[in-house]
A and B are shown apart, each in its own frame.
Chain A
Protein backbone atom coordinates (compact mmCIF):
# COMPACT_ATOMS: atom_id res chain seq x y z
CA UNK A 1 0.00 0.00 0.00
CA UNK A 2 1.70 3.12 -1.16
CA UNK A 3 -0.92 5.81 -0.77
CA UNK A 4 0.28 7.83 2.17
CA UNK A 5 -2.35 10.50 2.34
CA UNK A 6 -5.89 10.54 1.10
CA UNK A 7 -7.91 13.67 1.56
CA UNK A 8 -11.53 13.67 0.51
CA UNK A 9 -14.04 16.46 0.28
CA UNK A 10 -12.42 18.61 2.90
CA UNK A 11 -14.35 21.65 4.05
CA UNK A 12 -13.41 24.12 6.71
CA UNK A 13 -15.48 27.08 7.79
CA UNK A 14 -14.46 29.95 10.06
CA UNK A 15 -17.84 31.32 10.96
CA UNK A 16 -19.41 32.05 7.59
CA UNK A 17 -16.12 32.24 5.81
CA UNK A 18 -15.21 29.09 3.94
CA UNK A 19 -11.43 28.71 4.13
CA UNK A 20 -11.18 25.30 2.47
CA UNK A 21 -13.76 24.19 -0.04
CA UNK A 22 -14.02 20.63 -1.27
CA UNK A 23 -10.31 19.88 -1.34
CA UNK A 24 -9.34 16.33 -2.19
CA UNK A 25 -6.05 14.79 -3.22
CA UNK A 26 -3.72 11.88 -2.60
CA UNK A 27 -0.05 11.59 -1.90
CA UNK A 28 1.93 8.54 -2.95
CA UNK A 29 5.19 7.34 -1.56
CA UNK A 30 8.16 9.07 -3.16
CA UNK A 31 6.17 12.11 -4.20
CA UNK A 32 7.12 15.64 -3.27
CA UNK A 33 3.96 17.65 -3.59
CA UNK A 34 4.31 21.38 -3.91
CA UNK A 35 1.35 23.20 -2.51
CA UNK A 36 1.06 26.60 -4.11
CA UNK A 37 -1.28 29.44 -3.53
CA UNK A 38 -1.47 33.13 -2.79
CA UNK A 39 -1.50 34.23 0.83
CA UNK A 40 -4.73 33.36 2.52
CA UNK A 41 -5.66 30.75 -0.07
CA UNK A 42 -6.03 28.03 2.52
CA UNK A 43 -2.64 26.32 2.30
CA UNK A 44 -1.83 26.48 5.98
CA UNK A 45 -5.37 25.63 7.00
CA UNK A 46 -5.32 22.51 4.82
CA UNK A 47 -1.99 21.48 6.26
CA UNK A 48 -3.11 22.05 9.82
CA UNK A 49 -6.16 19.91 9.16
CA UNK A 50 -4.10 17.08 7.67
CA UNK A 51 -1.85 17.16 10.73
CA UNK A 52 -4.73 17.08 13.16
CA UNK A 53 -4.00 20.56 14.50
CA UNK A 54 -7.37 21.77 13.31
CA UNK A 55 -10.63 19.91 12.99
CA UNK A 56 -12.26 20.03 9.55
CA UNK A 57 -15.89 21.07 9.23
CA UNK A 58 -16.38 17.98 7.13
CA UNK A 59 -14.33 15.59 5.08
CA UNK A 60 -12.03 12.65 5.52
CA UNK A 61 -8.29 12.40 5.99
CA UNK A 62 -6.53 9.05 5.85
CA UNK A 63 -2.87 8.99 6.76
CA UNK A 64 -1.00 5.83 5.95
CA UNK A 65 -4.25 3.86 6.08
CA UNK A 66 -5.42 5.33 9.39
CA UNK A 67 -8.29 7.79 9.65
CA UNK A 68 -7.11 11.01 11.29
CA UNK A 69 -10.45 11.84 12.84
CA UNK A 70 -11.16 8.37 14.22
CA UNK A 71 -7.71 7.46 15.45
CA UNK A 72 -5.74 10.67 15.67
CA UNK A 73 -3.00 9.18 17.80
CA UNK A 74 -2.23 6.37 15.40
CA UNK A 75 -2.46 8.65 12.40
CA UNK A 76 -0.15 11.26 13.90
CA UNK A 77 2.59 8.69 14.34
CA UNK A 78 3.04 8.65 10.59
CA UNK A 79 3.26 12.43 10.33
CA UNK A 80 5.99 14.94 10.77
CA UNK A 81 4.86 18.55 10.65
CA UNK A 82 6.74 21.81 10.48
CA UNK A 83 4.29 24.69 10.85
CA UNK A 84 4.86 28.13 9.41
CA UNK A 85 6.38 29.26 12.68
CA UNK A 86 8.63 26.46 13.92
CA UNK A 87 7.39 25.24 17.32
CA UNK A 88 10.66 25.69 19.18
CA UNK A 89 11.23 25.96 22.90
CA UNK A 90 13.80 28.70 22.89
CA UNK A 91 15.01 28.12 26.40
CA UNK A 92 16.22 24.60 25.56
CA UNK A 93 19.35 23.44 23.81
CA UNK A 94 19.01 21.74 20.45
CA UNK A 95 19.73 18.34 21.97
CA UNK A 96 17.28 18.79 24.84
CA UNK A 97 14.61 19.90 22.42
CA UNK A 98 15.14 17.01 20.02
CA UNK A 99 15.17 14.59 22.93
CA UNK A 100 11.79 15.90 24.03
CA UNK A 101 10.45 15.53 20.47
CA UNK A 102 11.78 11.99 20.30
CA UNK A 103 10.02 11.17 23.55
CA UNK A 104 6.78 12.77 22.39
CA UNK A 105 6.87 10.60 19.30
CA UNK A 106 7.39 7.50 21.40
CA UNK A 107 10.78 6.54 20.14
CA UNK A 108 12.04 3.87 22.55
CA UNK A 109 14.66 5.18 24.94
CA UNK A 110 17.50 3.04 23.61
CA UNK A 111 16.96 4.32 20.06
CA UNK A 112 16.57 7.97 21.00
CA UNK A 113 20.23 8.94 20.93
CA UNK A 114 20.61 7.44 17.49
CA UNK A 115 17.45 9.08 16.16
CA UNK A 116 18.63 12.45 17.44
CA UNK A 117 22.06 11.97 15.91
CA UNK A 118 20.59 11.04 12.53
CA UNK A 119 18.12 13.94 12.49
CA UNK A 120 20.86 16.34 13.50
CA UNK A 121 23.19 15.11 10.84
CA UNK A 122 20.60 15.23 8.09
CA UNK A 123 19.70 18.80 8.90
CA UNK A 124 23.29 19.93 9.24
CA UNK A 125 23.04 20.58 12.94
CA UNK A 126 26.18 18.62 13.79
CA UNK A 127 27.99 21.17 15.89
CA UNK A 128 25.17 23.13 17.53
CA UNK A 129 23.70 20.34 19.68
CA UNK A 130 24.70 22.00 22.94
CA UNK A 131 23.62 25.52 21.99
CA UNK A 132 20.46 27.24 23.10
CA UNK A 133 17.87 27.43 20.36
CA UNK A 134 17.30 31.07 21.22
CA UNK A 135 20.89 31.90 20.27
CA UNK A 136 20.76 30.23 16.88
CA UNK A 137 20.31 32.11 13.64
CA UNK A 138 16.99 31.96 11.81
CA UNK A 139 18.35 29.43 9.35
CA UNK A 140 19.50 27.10 12.07
CA UNK A 141 16.21 27.46 13.91
CA UNK A 142 14.43 26.47 10.74
CA UNK A 143 16.64 23.41 10.49
CA UNK A 144 15.87 22.47 14.06
CA UNK A 145 12.22 22.72 13.07
CA UNK A 146 12.79 20.33 10.20
CA UNK A 147 14.82 17.99 12.41
CA UNK A 148 11.86 17.91 14.76
CA UNK A 149 9.58 16.86 11.89
CA UNK A 150 11.78 13.99 10.68
CA UNK A 151 13.17 12.65 13.94
CA UNK A 152 10.68 9.78 14.13
CA UNK A 153 11.08 8.85 10.44
CA UNK A 154 7.46 9.51 9.59
CA UNK A 155 5.94 8.24 6.37
CA UNK A 156 4.74 11.73 5.53
CA UNK A 157 6.53 14.99 6.13
CA UNK A 158 4.54 18.20 5.89
CA UNK A 159 6.48 21.44 5.67
CA UNK A 160 4.74 24.79 5.72
CA UNK A 161 6.91 27.34 3.95
CA UNK A 162 10.19 25.82 5.06
CA UNK A 163 12.46 28.28 3.27
CA UNK A 164 10.88 31.54 4.36
CA UNK A 165 13.41 34.00 5.71
CA UNK A 166 16.49 32.03 4.78
CA UNK A 167 19.44 33.22 2.77
CA UNK A 168 20.04 31.76 -0.72
CA UNK A 169 22.66 29.27 0.43
CA UNK A 170 20.45 27.98 3.20
CA UNK A 171 17.53 27.77 0.77
CA UNK A 172 19.61 25.61 -1.51
CA UNK A 173 20.60 23.35 1.35
CA UNK A 174 17.05 22.96 2.52
CA UNK A 175 15.85 22.17 -1.01
CA UNK A 176 18.58 19.58 -1.26
CA UNK A 177 17.41 18.10 2.02
CA UNK A 178 13.81 18.05 0.83
CA UNK A 179 14.74 16.23 -2.36
CA UNK A 180 16.61 13.69 -0.30
CA UNK A 181 13.70 13.24 2.08
CA UNK A 182 11.42 12.72 -0.89
CA UNK A 183 13.25 9.53 -1.76
CA UNK A 184 12.06 7.68 1.32
CA UNK A 185 9.12 9.68 2.56
CA UNK A 186 6.14 11.43 1.06
CA UNK A 187 6.59 15.16 1.34
CA UNK A 188 4.06 17.98 1.14
CA UNK A 189 5.60 21.39 0.84
CA UNK A 190 3.75 24.64 0.85
CA UNK A 191 5.27 27.75 -0.59
CA UNK A 192 4.55 30.80 -2.59
CA UNK A 193 8.00 30.83 -4.09
CA UNK A 194 7.34 29.38 -7.50
CA UNK A 195 10.83 28.30 -8.61
CA UNK A 196 11.04 26.29 -5.43
CA UNK A 197 8.28 24.06 -6.71
CA UNK A 198 9.93 23.62 -10.08
CA UNK A 199 13.18 22.77 -8.41
CA UNK A 200 12.27 20.40 -5.66
CA UNK A 201 8.82 18.94 -6.31
CA UNK A 202 7.54 16.06 -8.39
CA UNK A 203 3.93 17.18 -8.25
CA UNK A 204 2.26 20.50 -7.95
CA UNK A 205 -1.07 21.61 -6.68
CA UNK A 206 -2.44 25.13 -6.76
CA UNK A 207 -5.03 26.25 -4.29
CA UNK A 208 -6.97 29.45 -4.65
CA UNK A 209 -9.70 30.76 -2.41
CA UNK A 210 -9.91 27.43 -0.69
CA UNK A 211 -10.30 25.40 -3.86
CA UNK A 212 -7.85 23.30 -5.83
CA UNK A 213 -7.45 24.80 -9.27
CA UNK A 214 -4.63 22.62 -10.55
CA UNK A 215 -3.19 19.24 -9.74
CA UNK A 216 -0.48 18.00 -12.02
CA UNK A 217 2.99 16.52 -12.21
CA UNK A 218 5.89 18.86 -12.75
CA UNK A 219 6.24 17.45 -16.28
CA UNK A 220 2.61 18.20 -16.97
CA UNK A 221 3.16 21.68 -15.71
CA UNK A 222 6.17 22.09 -17.95
CA UNK A 223 3.95 21.22 -20.89
CA UNK A 224 1.42 23.80 -19.77
CA UNK A 225 4.19 26.29 -19.75
CA UNK A 226 5.51 25.34 -23.19
CA UNK A 227 5.69 28.03 -25.76
CA UNK A 228 2.79 29.32 -27.75
CA UNK A 229 4.29 32.56 -28.92
CA UNK A 230 7.40 33.90 -30.58
CA UNK A 231 8.98 37.28 -30.14
CA UNK A 232 10.34 38.86 -33.34
CA UNK A 233 12.57 41.85 -33.79
CA UNK A 234 13.08 43.13 -37.30
CA UNK A 235 15.19 45.86 -38.89
CA UNK A 236 12.29 47.27 -40.92
CA UNK A 237 8.51 47.18 -40.33
CA UNK A 238 7.12 43.69 -40.65
CA UNK A 239 4.63 42.70 -43.27
CA UNK A 240 2.04 41.72 -40.69
CA UNK A 241 -0.51 40.56 -43.28
CA UNK A 242 1.83 38.05 -44.74
CA UNK A 243 2.85 36.51 -41.42
CA UNK A 244 -0.73 36.41 -40.33
CA UNK A 245 -1.55 34.48 -43.45
CA UNK A 246 0.54 31.53 -42.36
CA UNK A 247 -1.35 28.40 -41.34
CA UNK A 248 -0.16 27.91 -37.78
CA UNK A 249 -0.18 31.57 -36.85
CA UNK A 250 -3.16 32.75 -34.86
CA UNK A 251 -2.43 36.42 -34.51
CA UNK A 252 0.33 39.01 -34.50
CA UNK A 253 0.72 41.80 -31.99
CA UNK A 254 2.66 44.92 -32.86
CA UNK A 255 4.65 45.87 -29.79
CA UNK A 256 6.22 48.93 -31.37
CA UNK A 257 9.90 49.57 -32.14
CA UNK A 258 9.80 46.80 -34.76
CA UNK A 259 8.97 44.18 -32.19
CA UNK A 260 6.18 41.73 -32.79
CA UNK A 261 4.67 38.90 -30.82
CA UNK A 262 3.40 36.06 -32.94
CA UNK A 263 0.88 33.71 -31.34
CA UNK A 264 0.68 30.24 -32.78
CA UNK A 265 -1.05 26.99 -32.02
CA UNK A 266 0.41 24.98 -29.19
CA UNK A 267 1.03 21.80 -31.15
CA UNK A 268 2.88 23.02 -34.17
CA UNK A 269 6.02 25.10 -34.12
CA UNK A 270 6.01 27.42 -37.11
CA UNK A 271 9.29 29.11 -36.24
CA UNK A 272 11.06 27.91 -39.35
CA UNK A 273 8.20 28.94 -41.59
CA UNK A 274 7.93 32.35 -40.01
CA UNK A 275 11.65 32.96 -40.24
CA UNK A 276 11.60 32.13 -43.95
CA UNK A 277 8.63 34.39 -44.55
CA UNK A 278 10.15 37.30 -42.72
CA UNK A 279 13.48 36.97 -44.48
CA UNK A 280 11.81 36.59 -47.87
CA UNK A 281 9.75 39.71 -47.36
CA UNK A 282 12.99 41.61 -46.77
CA UNK A 283 12.19 42.96 -43.33
CA UNK A 284 15.54 41.96 -41.94
CA UNK A 285 15.14 39.45 -39.14
CA UNK A 286 17.23 40.52 -36.17
CA UNK A 287 15.95 38.30 -33.43
CA UNK A 288 13.45 35.50 -32.89
CA UNK A 289 12.81 34.09 -29.42
CA UNK A 290 10.45 31.33 -28.38
CA UNK A 291 8.54 32.61 -25.38
CA UNK A 292 7.84 30.32 -22.48
CA UNK A 293 5.06 30.99 -20.06
CA UNK A 294 6.73 31.14 -16.73
CA UNK A 295 5.28 29.33 -13.78
CA UNK A 296 4.28 32.76 -12.54
CA UNK A 297 2.08 33.23 -15.55
CA UNK A 298 0.49 29.82 -15.21
CA UNK A 299 -0.07 30.60 -11.58
CA UNK A 300 -1.59 33.99 -12.26
CA UNK A 301 -3.76 32.58 -15.05
CA UNK A 302 -4.93 29.81 -12.77
CA UNK A 303 -5.77 32.08 -9.90
CA UNK A 304 -7.38 34.70 -12.11
CA UNK A 305 -9.61 32.30 -13.97
CA UNK A 306 -10.67 30.67 -10.75
CA UNK A 307 -14.19 31.92 -11.34
CA UNK A 308 -14.58 29.77 -14.41
CA UNK A 309 -13.63 26.67 -12.50
CA UNK A 310 -14.51 23.22 -13.50
CA UNK A 311 -14.32 20.26 -11.17
CA UNK A 312 -10.86 18.80 -11.18
CA UNK A 313 -10.26 15.08 -11.32
CA UNK A 314 -8.29 14.31 -8.18
Chain B
Protein backbone atom coordinates (compact mmCIF):
# COMPACT_ATOMS: atom_id res chain seq x y z
CA UNK B 1 0.00 0.00 0.00
CA UNK B 2 2.69 2.48 1.03
CA UNK B 3 4.91 1.08 -1.72
CA UNK B 4 2.18 2.01 -4.20
CA UNK B 5 2.12 5.58 -2.97
CA UNK B 6 5.87 5.88 -3.36
CA UNK B 7 5.67 4.20 -6.77
CA UNK B 8 2.96 6.60 -7.90
CA UNK B 9 5.04 9.57 -6.80
CA UNK B 10 8.12 8.19 -8.53
CA UNK B 11 6.16 7.57 -11.73
CA UNK B 12 4.73 11.08 -11.76
CA UNK B 13 8.10 12.63 -10.91
CA UNK B 14 9.61 10.87 -13.94
CA UNK B 15 7.06 12.52 -16.16
CA UNK B 16 7.77 15.92 -14.63
CA UNK B 17 11.37 15.71 -15.74
CA UNK B 18 12.20 16.36 -19.38
CA UNK B 19 14.47 13.32 -19.29
CA UNK B 20 11.61 10.84 -19.39
CA UNK B 21 9.95 12.57 -22.31
CA UNK B 22 13.25 12.83 -24.17
CA UNK B 23 13.89 9.14 -23.61
CA UNK B 24 10.42 8.18 -24.82
CA UNK B 25 10.69 10.43 -27.85
CA UNK B 26 14.17 9.41 -28.92
CA UNK B 27 13.49 5.72 -28.40
CA UNK B 28 10.33 5.95 -30.42
CA UNK B 29 12.10 7.72 -33.27
CA UNK B 30 15.05 5.36 -33.44
CA UNK B 31 12.97 2.23 -33.07
CA UNK B 32 10.51 3.55 -35.63
CA UNK B 33 13.36 3.96 -38.06
CA UNK B 34 14.68 0.48 -37.30
CA UNK B 35 11.20 -0.93 -37.66
CA UNK B 36 10.75 0.65 -41.08
CA UNK B 37 14.16 -0.53 -42.29
CA UNK B 38 13.29 -4.03 -41.18
CA UNK B 39 9.93 -3.77 -42.93
CA UNK B 40 11.66 -2.60 -46.09
CA UNK B 41 14.07 -5.51 -45.92
CA UNK B 42 11.18 -7.92 -45.48
CA UNK B 43 9.29 -6.49 -48.45
CA UNK B 44 12.41 -6.89 -50.54
CA UNK B 45 12.86 -10.51 -49.53
CA UNK B 46 9.20 -11.42 -49.59
CA UNK B 47 8.97 -12.46 -53.28
CA UNK B 48 11.98 -14.73 -52.85
CA UNK B 49 10.86 -16.49 -49.68
CA UNK B 50 7.22 -16.63 -50.67
CA UNK B 51 7.69 -19.95 -52.37
CA UNK B 52 9.73 -21.52 -49.58
CA UNK B 53 8.25 -24.10 -47.33
CA UNK B 54 8.31 -23.12 -43.67
CA UNK B 55 9.25 -19.57 -44.61
CA UNK B 56 9.82 -17.10 -41.77
CA UNK B 57 6.77 -14.85 -41.28
CA UNK B 58 6.69 -11.15 -40.53
CA UNK B 59 6.88 -11.83 -36.83
CA UNK B 60 10.25 -13.52 -37.22
CA UNK B 61 11.52 -11.16 -39.83
CA UNK B 62 10.48 -7.87 -38.27
CA UNK B 63 9.39 -8.15 -34.67
CA UNK B 64 12.08 -10.40 -33.24
CA UNK B 65 14.95 -8.27 -34.59
CA UNK B 66 13.13 -5.15 -33.44
CA UNK B 67 12.93 -6.44 -29.89
CA UNK B 68 16.52 -7.56 -30.05
CA UNK B 69 17.60 -4.04 -30.93
CA UNK B 70 15.33 -2.58 -28.27
CA UNK B 71 17.13 -4.69 -25.68
CA UNK B 72 20.47 -3.17 -26.65
CA UNK B 73 19.07 0.36 -26.70
CA UNK B 74 17.50 -0.09 -23.30
CA UNK B 75 20.87 -1.17 -22.01
CA UNK B 76 21.96 2.40 -22.68
CA UNK B 77 18.78 4.10 -21.58
CA UNK B 78 17.74 2.33 -18.38
CA UNK B 79 20.76 3.53 -16.37
CA UNK B 80 19.66 7.10 -17.10
CA UNK B 81 16.25 6.37 -15.63
CA UNK B 82 17.37 4.40 -12.60
CA UNK B 83 20.37 6.53 -11.63
CA UNK B 84 18.39 9.10 -9.68
CA UNK B 85 16.13 6.69 -7.78
CA UNK B 86 18.05 6.71 -4.50
CA UNK B 87 21.27 8.53 -5.34
CA UNK B 88 19.55 11.82 -6.02
CA UNK B 89 17.48 11.64 -2.86
CA UNK B 90 20.59 10.92 -0.90
CA UNK B 91 22.36 13.82 -2.52
CA UNK B 92 19.49 16.25 -1.93
CA UNK B 93 19.04 14.91 1.59
CA UNK B 94 15.42 14.09 0.95
CA UNK B 95 15.76 10.51 2.10
CA UNK B 96 15.02 11.59 5.64
CA UNK B 97 11.46 12.35 4.58
CA UNK B 98 10.97 8.68 3.78
CA UNK B 99 13.01 7.51 6.78
CA UNK B 100 10.96 9.60 9.20
CA UNK B 101 7.63 8.54 7.74
CA UNK B 102 5.99 5.37 9.00
CA UNK B 103 7.28 3.40 6.02
CA UNK B 104 9.63 0.43 6.06
CA UNK B 105 12.79 0.26 3.98
CA UNK B 106 11.36 -2.58 1.87
CA UNK B 107 8.36 -0.44 1.04
CA UNK B 108 10.62 2.40 -0.05
CA UNK B 109 12.63 0.10 -2.30
CA UNK B 110 9.58 -1.65 -3.73
CA UNK B 111 7.98 1.72 -4.35
CA UNK B 112 11.03 2.96 -6.19
CA UNK B 113 11.25 -0.21 -8.23
CA UNK B 114 7.63 -0.29 -9.28
CA UNK B 115 7.68 3.41 -10.06
CA UNK B 116 10.43 3.08 -12.60
CA UNK B 117 9.20 -0.30 -13.80
CA UNK B 118 5.79 1.19 -14.55
CA UNK B 119 7.51 3.79 -16.70
CA UNK B 120 9.46 1.12 -18.54
CA UNK B 121 6.21 -0.77 -19.16
CA UNK B 122 4.74 2.35 -20.71
CA UNK B 123 7.70 2.30 -23.04
CA UNK B 124 7.13 -1.37 -23.85
CA UNK B 125 3.49 -0.57 -24.60
CA UNK B 126 4.53 2.19 -27.01
CA UNK B 127 7.01 -0.11 -28.71
CA UNK B 128 4.35 -2.81 -29.00
CA UNK B 129 2.27 -0.45 -31.09
CA UNK B 130 4.72 -0.79 -33.98
CA UNK B 131 4.27 -4.53 -34.51
CA UNK B 132 0.55 -4.14 -33.94
CA UNK B 133 0.40 -1.64 -36.81
CA UNK B 134 1.34 -4.53 -39.10
CA UNK B 135 -2.13 -5.92 -38.50
CA UNK B 136 -3.32 -3.35 -41.02
CA UNK B 137 -1.69 -5.31 -43.79
CA UNK B 138 -1.26 -8.83 -42.55
CA UNK B 139 -1.46 -11.34 -39.75
CA UNK B 140 0.82 -11.75 -36.73
CA UNK B 141 2.00 -14.67 -34.68
CA UNK B 142 0.45 -13.50 -31.41
CA UNK B 143 2.08 -16.22 -29.36
CA UNK B 144 5.48 -15.07 -30.46
CA UNK B 145 4.62 -11.43 -29.98
CA UNK B 146 3.46 -12.20 -26.43
CA UNK B 147 6.73 -14.02 -25.75
CA UNK B 148 8.66 -11.01 -27.05
CA UNK B 149 6.71 -8.62 -24.86
CA UNK B 150 7.17 -10.85 -21.84
CA UNK B 151 10.89 -11.07 -22.56
CA UNK B 152 11.13 -7.31 -22.88
CA UNK B 153 9.24 -6.72 -19.63
CA UNK B 154 11.40 -9.20 -17.72
CA UNK B 155 14.60 -7.81 -19.18
CA UNK B 156 13.63 -4.27 -18.24
CA UNK B 157 12.61 -5.46 -14.77
CA UNK B 158 16.11 -6.91 -14.32
CA UNK B 159 17.71 -3.73 -15.64
CA UNK B 160 15.62 -1.66 -13.26
CA UNK B 161 16.42 -3.72 -10.19
CA UNK B 162 20.14 -3.78 -10.95
CA UNK B 163 20.05 -0.03 -11.56
CA UNK B 164 18.14 0.50 -8.35
CA UNK B 165 20.70 -1.47 -6.40
CA UNK B 166 23.59 0.54 -7.77
CA UNK B 167 21.71 3.77 -7.21
CA UNK B 168 21.13 2.72 -3.60
CA UNK B 169 24.89 2.43 -3.28
CA UNK B 170 25.95 5.80 -4.57
CA UNK B 171 25.49 9.41 -3.67
CA UNK B 172 25.92 10.71 -7.20
CA UNK B 173 23.44 9.93 -9.94
CA UNK B 174 25.97 10.09 -12.75
CA UNK B 175 28.27 7.64 -11.03
CA UNK B 176 25.30 5.35 -10.54
CA UNK B 177 24.47 5.64 -14.25
CA UNK B 178 27.97 4.76 -15.39
CA UNK B 179 28.26 1.88 -12.95
CA UNK B 180 24.84 0.55 -13.93
CA UNK B 181 25.71 0.73 -17.60
CA UNK B 182 28.93 -1.15 -16.93
CA UNK B 183 27.18 -3.81 -14.88
CA UNK B 184 24.43 -4.32 -17.46
CA UNK B 185 26.82 -4.45 -20.37
CA UNK B 186 28.99 -6.87 -18.44
CA UNK B 187 26.05 -9.16 -17.81
CA UNK B 188 25.05 -8.80 -21.46
CA UNK B 189 28.36 -9.90 -22.94
CA UNK B 190 29.58 -12.21 -20.20
CA UNK B 191 29.07 -15.26 -22.40
CA UNK B 192 31.23 -13.98 -25.28
CA UNK B 193 34.31 -15.61 -23.90
CA UNK B 194 32.53 -18.92 -23.64
CA UNK B 195 31.28 -19.00 -27.19
CA UNK B 196 34.46 -20.49 -28.62
CA UNK B 197 34.58 -23.62 -26.53
CA UNK B 198 31.40 -24.98 -25.06
CA UNK B 199 32.79 -26.44 -21.84
CA UNK B 200 33.66 -23.34 -19.84
CA UNK B 201 30.97 -21.31 -21.54
CA UNK B 202 28.14 -23.14 -19.82
CA UNK B 203 28.13 -21.27 -16.52
CA UNK B 204 28.88 -17.90 -18.02
CA UNK B 205 26.20 -18.42 -20.61
CA UNK B 206 23.66 -19.12 -17.89
CA UNK B 207 24.62 -15.81 -16.26
CA UNK B 208 24.17 -13.78 -19.41
CA UNK B 209 21.12 -11.59 -19.71
CA UNK B 210 21.39 -11.73 -23.49
CA UNK B 211 21.34 -15.51 -23.59
CA UNK B 212 18.07 -15.77 -21.65
CA UNK B 213 16.57 -12.84 -23.47
CA UNK B 214 17.25 -14.42 -26.86
CA UNK B 215 15.74 -17.70 -25.73
CA UNK B 216 12.51 -15.94 -24.88
CA UNK B 217 12.54 -13.90 -28.08
CA UNK B 218 12.66 -17.09 -30.06
CA UNK B 219 9.30 -17.88 -28.55
CA UNK B 220 10.64 -20.49 -26.15
CA UNK B 221 9.10 -19.58 -22.81
CA UNK B 222 10.94 -21.97 -20.55
CA UNK B 223 10.99 -22.03 -16.78
CA UNK B 224 14.78 -21.68 -16.74
CA UNK B 225 14.69 -18.30 -18.41
CA UNK B 226 11.71 -17.07 -16.39
CA UNK B 227 13.37 -18.23 -13.18
CA UNK B 228 16.59 -16.48 -14.17
CA UNK B 229 14.87 -13.14 -14.66
CA UNK B 230 12.74 -13.42 -11.53
CA UNK B 231 15.82 -14.35 -9.50
CA UNK B 232 17.77 -11.39 -10.79
CA UNK B 233 14.92 -8.99 -10.04
CA UNK B 234 14.28 -10.43 -6.59
CA UNK B 235 17.95 -10.68 -5.60
CA UNK B 236 18.76 -7.10 -6.49
CA UNK B 237 15.66 -5.79 -4.74
CA UNK B 238 16.68 -7.59 -1.56
CA UNK B 239 20.23 -6.28 -1.91
CA UNK B 240 18.88 -2.76 -2.40
CA UNK B 241 16.90 -3.01 0.82
CA UNK B 242 20.07 -3.97 2.66
CA UNK B 243 22.06 -1.26 1.03
CA UNK B 244 19.53 1.41 1.93
CA UNK B 245 19.28 0.10 5.47
CA UNK B 246 23.01 0.73 5.74
CA UNK B 247 22.23 4.44 5.58
CA UNK B 248 20.53 4.06 8.91
CA UNK B 249 23.24 1.90 10.46
CA UNK B 250 26.22 3.73 8.96
CA UNK B 251 29.74 2.80 9.88
Contact = CB atoms under 8 A, between A and B. Distances in A.
B185 to A, nearest CB: 30
B94 A88 contact: yes
Interface stretch (A99-107, A117-125, A255-263): A99-107
Contacts of A106: 2, 102
Interface string A53-91: 111000000000000000011101101110101011111
Contacts, number: 69
A83 B98 contact: no
Contacts of A54: 248, 250
Interface in B206-251: 248-251
Contact of B96 (A53, A91, A92, A105): A53
A14 B249 CA distance: 10
A307 B2 CA distance: 48
Given A14-B250, A53-B248, A100-B9, A87 B101 contact: no
Contacts of A79: 100
B16 interface: yes
B109 to A, nearest CB: 15
A92 B250 CA distance: 30
A51 interface: yes
Nearest to B98: A104
A86 to B, nearest CB: 8
Contacts of B16: 91-92
Contact of A73 (B6, B97, B103): B103
Interface string B84-97: 00000000111111
A52 interface: yes
A89 B13 contact: yes
A83 B96 contact: yes
B248 A91 contact: no
B41 interface: no
Contact of B99 (A53, A100, A105): A53
Nearest to A71: B102
Nearest to A76: B102
A76 B97 contact: no
A104 B103 contact: yes
A81 B100 contact: yes
Contacts of A245: none
Task: Classify the interface of chain B: helix, strand, loop or mixed.
Answer: helix
A153 B92 CA distance: 25
Contacts of A92: 13, 16
Contact of A87 (B9, B97, B103, B248): B97
Given A52-B100, A55-B249, A89 B2 contact: no
A148 interface: yes
Contacts of B5: 100, 103-104
Contacts of B92: 87, 90
A108 interface: no
A101 B2 CA distance: 12
A110 B68 CA distance: 47
Contacts of A74: 102
B196 interface: no
B155 to A, nearest CB: 29
A15 interface: yes
B69 interface: no
B96 A87 contact: yes
Contacts of B102: 72-74, 76-77, 104-106
Nearest to A103: B5
Given A87-B95, A104-B2, A53 B251 contact: no
B102 to A, nearest CB: 4
B50 to A, nearest CB: 54
B99 A51 contact: yes
Contact of B94 (A77, A89, A105): A89
B17 interface: yes
B248 A104 contact: no
B104 interface: yes
A108 to B, nearest CB: 12
A51 B251 CA distance: 18
Nearest to A75: B102
Name, among B97, B98, B103, B250, the residue most crowded by chain A CB atoms within 10 Å (CB to CB): B97
A53 B93 contact: no
Nearest to A79: B100
A146 B101 CA distance: 14
A52 B95 CA distance: 12
A130 B93 CA distance: 23
A15 B251 contact: yes
Given A54-B250, A73-B103, A77-B102, 11 more contacts: A48-B96, A51-B96, A53-B99, A76-B100, A76-B101, A81-B100, A87-B96, A87-B97, A101-B101, A104-B5, A104-B103
19 contacts: A51-B100, A53-B96, A53-B99, A53-B248, A55-B249, A74-B102, A76-B100, A77-B102, A79-B100, A80-B100, A81-B100, A85-B93, A87-B93, A87-B97, A89-B13, A91-B17, A100-B5, A104-B2, A106-B2
Interface of A: 14-15, 48, 51-55, 72-74, 76-77, 79-81, 83, 85, 87-92, 100-101, 103-106, 148
Interface of B: 2, 5-6, 9, 13, 16-17, 92-104, 248-251
